[in-house]
Chains A and B, each alone.
Chain A
Amino acid sequence: MFFFFLLLLCFSPVANAGNPAYFELFGTISFRRPMEVFGQWINVQKRNSVSRIFSNSGIKLRVHENTASFLSKASKLTGMQRLHYINTFWNRYPYIQDIKNWGQNDYWAIPSEFIKKSGDCEDYAIIKYYTLLALGQPDDTMRIVVLKDTLRKLAHAVLAVKEGDKVFILDNVSNAIVSHDRLLHYVPAYSLNQGYAFVHMKGRKL
């Protein structure tokens, strides 16, 4: 589970206008926050830096598929097609709760862990993020978004990817990729990529 009190700790608005990394998510206002506040994300990046699966071509991902063959297929695709391929590929991994996998309420798995044990929502978002990063997707076009699912009444994480001038959501719930502004049941709390960290607030632009 995520701790929403982090939102309060992070509450310190930063000017976003004109920032290339900024894009609107679920009709909220984003505030940039120092990365240090999100220790779990820093931890993931650190762990992943010593166990990168996509720099090693021979890691087996599933039957008849290793990192090399997967990346090769994905690299041949562009735009929404590539996003569908990656989303669908990783969504085939079974959804397993952290408590069952790791004995913890919330554990952010790095890709090398995910391909062995699968994971839950943020783990899908993380591996999709690193896959796209390995395929050359610019970091500032992607966000791992931690949000509240008002339908299922739980915390959730998805990957938001800016494709063209639209932001699409890669969700482990569906292989369908829908624009963020259609998903009325998601209320984002914060979003992360390698370079930036934002908190989100419902509100209207002045």
Chain B
Amino acid sequence: MQKDNLSFSRHKKHLLLLLAGTVLILMTAVAFTITALTEKKAALMSSAADTCREELALFNDRLAEWKDSTQAVISSISQENLFRVFITDYASSKSGLDRLDALKNDINAPEYEFFQYIQDVLNDVARMHGIRNAALLLPDGRPFLGETSGVEKNALTGTSNFRIFSCTEENGNVYARTATAVFPLNSEEKPNAYLILDVPLDAGFDKVLSSTTHHEIQYSLLLPAGKLSLSGGKVLFTPETLPAGGFDEGSFLEEHGQEFCMYTAVHDPAEGFMRASISKDILEGREAKAKWDVLIFAITVMTAIILLALVLYFAETAANETKLNRRISQQSFLLQSINSSVENGIVLMDRRGMVLYKNKYFPGEEWERTPLDSIFPAGAAATIISKTGEVTEALKPATIETFIEENGEKRLFRVALFPYVPERGKSADALSVIQFTDITIFRKRAIEQKRRMENLLDVFACAMESVDKGFRGQTRKMLAVIDLIRIPLGLSSDEVQTLSIAARLQGISKLFIPHDLVVKQGKLTDEEKARIAQANTIAGHMVQNFDFRLPVSTTLDQSGERIDGTGRPNGLKGDEILATAKILAVVTSFCAMTSPRAYRAAYTASEAIETLSSDRGYDQTIVAGLAHAGTETLEKLIAAENIERLNLA
């Protein structure tokens, strides 16, 4: 059993460990999930910022590349000697400008032809590059060659690369209006004209504004004149003013309306900013998706953990069950072996009186799950069930005796009840183990033995009474009186038994006294008294040698004692004297008084009781118990015994 308990507790310990482990892992998983969900947004923003930063760098590269190729085209025009010579001739001096003004108004002038040719060539080369409008302006903004309008004087600054100073739109196509310095032939310090070209922002520029990898990012170039962006794959120009302080350059995303933006300044081709932006919707979509991914992952992991835990649980339970089953079958085998060798009936009953088990002592049909009272006689069953309730309540074994009819024969069983509570505190599951022992034969033998002993004692009594005629019938009378006071005094069966034996052996010492002393009339001499005392001693030893398992010897020894302490042989008083000895003293005295003696007549019952009541040497409770039997009953008894004695005589 110890081993079983250990095994079960180990199993419980394993399951608890498993549960604790599972809960711990699940809690960790939940914590990780929450952390991952929290960090996901920041990570996404950081990732988007990284992408924007990289894309801005690429944007810058693409813009620089576009600028370089555009610069190559523009330079081929602005640095062409054909134009530079013409410009040097007419724009470098006041007289030249005057001649140009005159020329423009005189188509017949010889130089007009060249002026026209220059214009045609400029237009042709512009047309060849898709440039919509080409013109030369003097640094002060006055037209020099070709026509253009709306060019502010402050656009005509700088001496190096071209600058975009505004944009125009025609037939849905956007043109960047560029200004490039044109220098005289002999110097590149001070431009004497500016080449104004409307450069198309078509196939070349739409690639500048789009990424090949990150299509979710929107690009725009924010110039002082307005914004260049892509719309439906086409370059779109939106006139708008740059904020006074420009934009904050940074490597983190800024929130602007429905977008997150990042800016970086461009100093070429024009003062402005590049902007990479990503829509909030896209980021929110990504966030939602990322969260779902995390959640699905977490749920998958948790489900896997739970499934694993369940598998381990079932495996552990199954292993333990197998172990327990093996142990149960071993123990069951052991119990059956024991049961089959036990000659007693054993029944296992629950507290509702249902038989759960019986051993083979009880032959016949199975009793399992049968009420006890349908098996045993109602009275016996009720007694057992009632006693079982007490036993399981008190958790103490008990024994009762009951008659059970077996094969038409009434047999006496000792029924031993043992409480069995599987687990402490759960008395609802309490069971009782009931052991039936057939004690019919033992009891019969015991009764027979008792009878034999009583017969033997009767023989002693008879022998003793035959020695002294005066005592004839004395024993029977005493036994009758004892029987009479048994109930009023509430004597136990052991006390009655002790008294009945003691009554029989009371006069035994007479057997050891010489007959002449027994029948002697008159006073005894000292020598005679000593002989009688010796006889008493011998009788006492003899009684002691009988093993009655009852205080017979003590009762006889103390029957001469008086409760006032004046008795013999030890002068005991009160409760020092055995109860049976006190009773015997009263009964002996009563029977002696009510018997006639050679030297006096017999007392009547009431006389005897009166005498006893007035004597403080006797226990008055006992005397009262005797009196309770009633004078009439006692008189009848005395009369019957006295007649018997006379007859015997």
Chain A residues within CB distance 8 Å of chain B: 150-153, 171, 173-178, 182-185
Cα distance A137–B81 when bound, in Å?
33
Min CB gap A14→B, angstroms: 30
> Is B544 an interface residue, CB under 8 A from the partner?
no
What residue of chain B has the Cβ atom nearest to residue A80's Cβ? B113
The residues of A that contact B81 with a CB separation of less than 8 Å are 184-185
Asked if residues A176 and B116 are in contact (CB atoms below 8 Å), the reply is: yes
Binary CB contact string for chain B from 489 to 510 against chain A (1 if under 8 A, 0 otherwise): 0000000000000000000000
Which of the residues B117, B119, B128 comes within 8 Å of A152, measured between beta carbons?
B128
Binary CB contact string for chain B from 64 to 87 against chain A (1 if under 8 A, 0 otherwise): 000000000000110011100100
Min CB gap A151→B, angstroms: 5
| Interface of B, helix, strand, loop or mixed by DSSP | helix
Considering the complex of A and B, which 4 residue pairs feature the smallest CB-CB distances, nearest first?
A174-B120, A176-B117, A176-B116, A184-B81
Which of the residues B77, B114, B125, B128 comes within 8 Å of A182, measured between beta carbons?
B114
Asked if residues B82 and A174 are in contact (CB atoms below 8 Å), the reply is: no
Given contact pairs A184-B81, A184-B85, A151 touches B76 in the complex (Cβ within 8 A): yes
The residues of B that contact A182 with a CB separation of less than 8 Å are 114, 117
Asked if residues B76 and A174 are in contact (CB atoms below 8 Å), the reply is: no
Asked if residues B116 and A184 are in contact (CB atoms below 8 Å), the reply is: no
Q: In residues 104-143 of chain B, which contact A (Cβ within 8 Å)?
A: 113-117, 119-121, 124-125, 128
Asked if residues B80 and A175 are in contact (CB atoms below 8 Å), the reply is: no
A-B contact count (CB 8 A): 47
The residues of B that contact A175 with a CB separation of less than 8 Å are 116, 120
What residue of chain B has the Cβ atom nearest to residue A185's Cβ? B82
Asked if residues A173 and B120 are in contact (CB atoms below 8 Å), the reply is: yes
Cα distance A21–B113 when bound, in Å?
26
The residues of A that contact B80 with a CB separation of less than 8 Å are 150-151, 184-185
Given contact pairs A182-B114, A185-B80, A174 touches B121 in the complex (Cβ within 8 A): yes
What residue of chain A has the Cβ atom nearest to residue B117's Cβ? A176
The residues of B that contact A173 with a CB separation of less than 8 Å are 117, 120-121, 124
The residues of B that contact A152 with a CB separation of less than 8 Å are 124-125, 128
Asked if residues A184 and B121 are in contact (CB atoms below 8 Å), the reply is: no
What residue of chain B has the Cβ atom nearest to residue A172's Cβ? B124
Asked if residues B121 and A185 are in contact (CB atoms below 8 Å), the reply is: yes
The residues of B that contact A171 with a CB separation of less than 8 Å are 117
Min CB gap B128→A, angstroms: 6
Min CB gap A166→B, angstroms: 11
The residues of A that contact B115 with a CB separation of less than 8 Å are 176
Min CB gap A161→B, angstroms: 14
Cα distance A178–B117 when bound, in Å?
7
The residues of B that contact A183 with a CB separation of less than 8 Å are 82, 117
Asked if residues A174 and B117 are in contact (CB atoms below 8 Å), the reply is: yes
What are 16 A-to-B residue pairs whose CB atoms are below 8 Å? A151-B121, A152-B124, A152-B125, A152-B128, A173-B117, A174-B117, A174-B120, A175-B116, A176-B120, A177-B117, A178-B113, A182-B114, A182-B117, A184-B80, A184-B82, A185-B81
Asked if residues B114 and A176 are in contact (CB atoms below 8 Å), the reply is: yes
Cα distance A171–B85 when bound, in Å?
20
Given contact pairs A151-B82, A185-B81, A178 touches B124 in the complex (Cβ within 8 A): no
Min CB gap A85→B, angstroms: 14
Binary CB contact string for chain B from 296 to 321 against chain A (1 if under 8 A, 0 otherwise): 00000000000000000000000000
Cα distance A173–B115 when bound, in Å?
13
The residues of B that contact A178 with a CB separation of less than 8 Å are 113-114, 117
Cα distance A175–B124 when bound, in Å?
12
Min CB gap A204→B, angstroms: 18
Most buried by B among A151, A152, A175, A184: A151
The residues of A that contact B120 with a CB separation of less than 8 Å are 173-176
Cα distance A176–B107 when bound, in Å?
11
Given contact pairs A183-B82, A184-B85, A151 touches B77 in the complex (Cβ within 8 A): yes
Asked if residues B113 and A177 are in contact (CB atoms below 8 Å), the reply is: yes
